[in-house]
Amino acid sequence: MHHPLPLFTLALLLASCTPKSDSLIGEWTVDKVNVQFDENRSTPELVKQIGEIEKQNTLSISSDSLLVFKGLDETWEGCLTLKNGTRLYCDGTLFGEWKEGLIVTQTDSPLGEIVVRYKKMR
């Protein structure tokens, strides 16, 4: 006999994977990149190059909460969730913030931080 709990648990997990707003669904492109690297550990050329690479990023969010990230040399996908109305998580890891119709991500590296702001295209 099949136990109903695993099916219930699966349904609960799938339900928790749904953003609370249809406003997130669509295609997103980079609106602004802010590279804040330690001047003693990098060069202006490196900062510019990193900024140009980040500008190639796109996000696609589907109605079933699948987030697809495409960068210059990487593509990955995961389950997107929205918590507290602004915090975006991908597969349980903080991905960014959703503020004023924009998605803002922050990446920390040994050289400093990179903040990327995405705007919705369609």
Q: What is the pLDDT of residue 22?
A: 84
Q: What is the pLDDT of residue 122?
A: 64
Q: What percent of the chain has pLDDT over 70?
A: 82
Angle at the Cα of 27 from the Cα atoms of 117 and 57, rounded to 5 degrees: 50
The H-or-E segment that residue 28 falls in is strand 26-37
Weakly modelled stretches of the chain, pLDDT under 70: 1-21, 122
Q: What is the pLDDT of residue 1?
A: 47
CATH topology of domain 4-120: Lipocalin (2.40.128)
Sorted by where each begins, the domain ranges of the chain are 4-120
Q: What is the pLDDT of residue 33?
A: 97
**Could you write out the three-class secondary structure of 30-70?**
EEEEEEEECCCCCCHHHHHHHHHHHCCCEEEECCCCEEEEE
CA gap 51, 108 in Å, rounded: 14
